[in-house]
């Protein structure tokens, strides 16, 4: 007797769920390997995870919507400040602080999106830079709240769920960060394949055609910016919780430019590209700067040039090409 054939609608529900679980499992496996291989560098690995949220959030607006921005660190930094201020004022539960970061990042994202997505091309890029610099200026001016140029310090979160205290070796911080990243990547893997996510891809490819078929382009871009802000807010909150301090560099132009570089390295339009790009750039920078403190920026520049020349679509392009060759050999 032949096996029953699943209805196409059922298959369409099952396959995406498998893809999402694979995304989350891959993040957890990578985190377990990092925990086992680099037990003395967990603080650095935690920082990589926090920045991965920023780069993934940037991918949502650039890779999936085609919105040009160089002020995305504002979303990350505002959330970091919000979580840090809440912690200093008495909210010490890390999960609640992450929630504060999500709300702060989402609100900032909606405000930024409402302004930035009204424009296209160079004006859009300039407006995004101006928005980021405005946030930097506000963070510096409100020194009574943010600490100004000295930064916001004294951030001491309590144990996670009242059970798992943060330790000197950053074990709790890393495990919390990697678990949250796995969960968020699973959600985003479903989100970008949803009708809303697919429509955003269509807007990126041809916004005029999207308008002609009746799609509301501007509201969708603003909503995506809000979602992006929420994701960046998680990273900002985790950065404040695990680092214990928030500085102006969290909202600065350099952080925004660095995030864009990491996205280009990994490959825009792919969630995994954002994560891989963050890992490559931060890991390479960490190793090279320790080995050659005087010329490490030159080596980082050469890496960027090499990736752009030989893999213009980022690391994802190299991984896919290698996978295709391996599959061809197995078939042959």
Round to whole Å and give the CA distance between 56 and 228: 8
In a domain, 2, yes or no: no
Q: Find how far residue 27's CA is from the centre of its chain.
A: 14
Identify whether the C-beta of residue 85 lies closer than 8 Å to the C-beta of residue 100: no
Q: Is residue 127 situated within a structural domain?
A: yes
Is the pLDDT at 25 greater than 80? The verdict is yes
**Residue 138 is part of which domain span?**
12-331
In a domain, residue 7? The reply is: no
Choose the weakest-confidence range: 44-53, 107-116, 227-236, 301-310. Answer: 301-310
Q: Report if residue 296 sits inside a domain.
A: yes
Is residue 124 very low, low, confident or very high in pLDDT (cuts 50, 70, 90)?
A: very high
Report the range of poorest mean pLDDT among 8-17, 142-151, 187-196, 278-287: 8-17
Q: Rounded distance, CA 85 to CA 180, Å?
A: 21
Q: Is 168 within 8 Å of 31 (Cβ atoms)?
A: no
**Cα dihedral 318, 320, 322, 324 sign:** negative
Tell me the CATH number at 256. Answer: 1.10.3470
Question: Does residue 6 belong to any structural domain of this protein?
Answer: no
In a domain, 75, yes or no: yes
Report pLDDT for 331: 63
Q: Tell me whether residue 3 is in a domain.
A: no
Domain count of the chain?
A: 1
Domain for residue 1, yes or no? Answer: no
């Amino acid at each position: 007797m032949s096996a029953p054939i699943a209805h196409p609608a059922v298959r369409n529900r099952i396959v995406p769920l498998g893809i999402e679980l694979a995304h989350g499992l891959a993040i957890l496996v990578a985190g377990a390997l990092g925990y086992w291989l680099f037990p003395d560098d967990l603080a650095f690995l935690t920082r990589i995870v926090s920045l991965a949220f920023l780069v993934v959030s940037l991918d949502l607006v650039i890779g999936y919507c085609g919105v040009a921005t160089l002020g995305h660190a504002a979303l990350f930094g505002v959330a970091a400040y919000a979580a840090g201020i809440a912690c200093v004022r008495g909210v010490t539960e890390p999960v609640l602080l992450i929630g504060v970061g999500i709300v702060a990042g989402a609100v900032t994202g909606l405000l930024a999106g409402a302004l930035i997505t009204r424009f296209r091309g160079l004006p859009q890029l300039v407006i995004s830079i101006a928005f980021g610099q405005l946030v930097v200026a506000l963070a510096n001016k409100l020194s009574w709240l943010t600490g100004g140029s000295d930064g916001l310090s004294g951030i001491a979160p309590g144990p996670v769920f009242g059970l798992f205290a943060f330790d000197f070796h950053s074990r709790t911080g890393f495990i919390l960060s990697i678990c949250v990243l796995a969960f968020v990547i699973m959600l985003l893997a479903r989100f970008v394949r949803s009708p809303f996510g697919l429509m955003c891809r269509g807007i990126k490819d041809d916004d005029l055609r999207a308008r002609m078929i009746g799609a509301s382009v501007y509201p969708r871009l603003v909503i995506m910016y809000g979602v992006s802000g929420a994701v960046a807010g998680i990273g900002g909150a985790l950065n404040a919780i695990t680092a214990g301090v928030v500085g102006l560099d969290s909202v600065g132009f350099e952080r925004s430019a660095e995030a864009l570089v990491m996205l280009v390295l990994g490959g825009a339009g792919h969630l995994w590209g954002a994560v891989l790009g963050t890992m490559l750039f931060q890991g390479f920078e960490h190793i090279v700067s320790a080995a050659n403190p005087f010329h490490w920026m030159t080596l980082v520049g050469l890496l960027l040039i090499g990736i752009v020349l030989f893999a213009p679509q980022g690391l994802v392009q190299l991984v896919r090409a290698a996978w295709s060759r391996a599959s061809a050999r197995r078939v042959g």
